[in-house]
Structure 1
Amino acid sequence: MKVTFKNQIKSIGELREVMGFPREMVQKKSINFIDEHCKDFIAKSPMLFISTANENGSCDVSPRGDPAGFVGVLDEQYLVLPERPGNKRCDSLVNILSNPHIGLIFIIPGLKETLRVNGKAILSRDKDLLNKYEVNGKCPEVGIIVEVEECFIHCAKAFLRSKLWQAETWPEKEQLPKVAKVLADHINSSNFSKDEIQTVLEESYKKRLY
């Protein structure tokens, strides 16, 4: 059954009537290159989120993490993200091949502000470039090269509201979702029990990070 929603906003003008306009400081904070401040932020970030979309506009967001500074700054215009082993779905990579537009959010633990970077991406197998990102004797097979078009600091309100960095607000371990159980129910196959999935996950996390 199709669900309908009342009082939808259908134009930018209507949206602005409700939300207003950004202040001058917000309008002017975006730059189109990687300056020393952005470079320092990226060097201190062990975690980012990548937003991509396919040729039809269907979106995907994917996390990437490694020791702080794992994203390389080649110059004022280009970044390189080493692609580590995953589950081989390659959602972000497949999207980039049909639609180069990409958005990144860099996170630094304990810092409530984030760095947002938007641009266009390509995939590279340049070994001379990727060998610089070797970990545990293993080099990435693919790198995401991002041509930066926009960089800006995103304010802290989301982190303040969520209290993400305040450990006392975190749920107890027993209250966390049981991921193996979630996967077993989603897969819904007699070939994959919760315990079997848990074993596969633990082995992957121990042996196939790089």
Structure 2
Amino acid sequence: MSRYAQLAYTDSVQRFQAEQGSAAANARRLGGDSERDLITANEAAFIESRDGFYLGSVSETGWPYVQFRGGPPGFVHVLDEHRLAFAEVRGNRQYISDGNIRADGRVSLFFMDYARQARLKLFGRASLMDTSDELHERLMSTRTDGRVERLVLIEVEAFNWNCPQHITPRFTADEVRQYVSALHAEIASLREQLKGT
């Protein structure tokens, strides 16, 4: 039933699952067709609400590489039920992810919502496009600050929502400000009440 499981549960993974006694529980995820997963409104809303994600790529020598990509919520654009894209801005100029993508476009993305203990894992095939591509204008509407060097398009193969069990809640500075502002308002109100007594 899960395209994600069909890609992730390799022979060696299934052997390990059998050794650990979880093969039967995981086997039901392997059935069904092998069509690509479709991004629904639920996944699109989650992706576009994130201010960052982890991007995993693989080198020609087989070594994985994981890097964080960040920007304002919505900098990753859901183009349709199969595709995501974002504008790649200049960073430390090592270009490890981009070099890996050029050699082997298979990528894994992790979108995290630490505050609500939710995560979305995604497998896809990435390609690099120059800024003259027709997507350029759309991706400029919400993007990371900095000099745009290229566009990254990801054809989604599969995704999976993870359980929240081991996600440590963390909050962004904006989320903390939202929570604390209500406390500041209540403190100010109480101070005013005390002045009247």
TM-score category by the smaller chain? 0.5 to 0.7
* 1:129-152 residue CA offsets vs partner (Å, 9 max, x unmatched): 123333598662211110000012
User: 2:110 matched to 1:108?
Assistant: no
User: 2:162 matched to 1:157?
Assistant: no
Match of 1:20 in 2: 22
CA distance in 2, matches of 1:141, 1:152: 30
Match of 1:132 in 2: 138
Relative distance call for 1:109 and 1:137 in structure 2 (3 A) is closer
* 1:8-57 residue CA offsets vs partner (Å, 9 max, x unmatched): xx8843542225136479828x9712111111111111110000001221
User: Does structure 2 retain, via aligned residues, the 8 Å contact 1:43–1:68?
Assistant: yes
CA drift of 1:113 comes to 1.5
**What does 1:59-208 align with in structure 2 at a 5 Å threshold?**
59-127=64-132, 128-134=134-140, 140-159=148-167, 163-165=168-170
User: Does structure 2 retain, via aligned residues, the 8 Å contact 1:130–1:140?
Assistant: no
User: Does structure 1 retain, via aligned residues, the 8 Å contact 2:86–2:139?
Assistant: no
48, 63, 73: which is aligned to 1:58?
Answer: 63
CA drift of 1:91 comes to 0.8
Give the RMSD, CA atoms, in angstroms. 2.9
User: Does structure 1 retain, via aligned residues, the 8 Å contact 2:114–2:171?
Assistant: no
> Given the two structures, how large is their TM-score scaled by the length of structure 1?
0.64
Q: Percent identity?
A: 24
> Given the two structures, how large is their TM-score scaled by the length of structure 2?
0.68
* 1:143-189 residue CA offsets vs partner (Å, 9 max, x unmatched): 11100000121111221xxx34279xxxxxxxxxxxxxxxxxxxxxx
CA distance in 2, matches of 1:81, 1:107: 17
SS of equivalent to 1:158: coil
Structure 2 stretches lacking a partner, 5+ long:
1-11, 173-197
How many corresponding residue pairs? 154
CA distance in 2, matches of 1:133, 1:124: 12
CA drift of 1:78 comes to 0.9
| Aligned partner letter, 2:135 | L
Relative distance call for 1:19 and 1:68 in structure 2 (3 A) is farther
Per chain length, whose mean CA-contact separation is higher, i.e. which structure has more relative contact order (CA < 8 Å, sep 6+)? 2
Structure 1 stretches lacking a partner, 5+ long:
1-9, 168-210
SS of equivalent to 2:148: coil
* 1:40-91 residue CA offsets vs partner (Å, 9 max, x unmatched): 1111111100000012211100001111111011111111022122000011
| Aligned partner letter, 1:132 | R
| Aligned partner letter, 2:69 | R
CA distance in 2, matches of 1:137, 1:116: 25
User: Does structure 2 retain, via aligned residues, the 8 Å contact 1:46–1:108?
Assistant: no
Relative distance call for 1:34 and 1:86 in structure 2 (3 A) is same
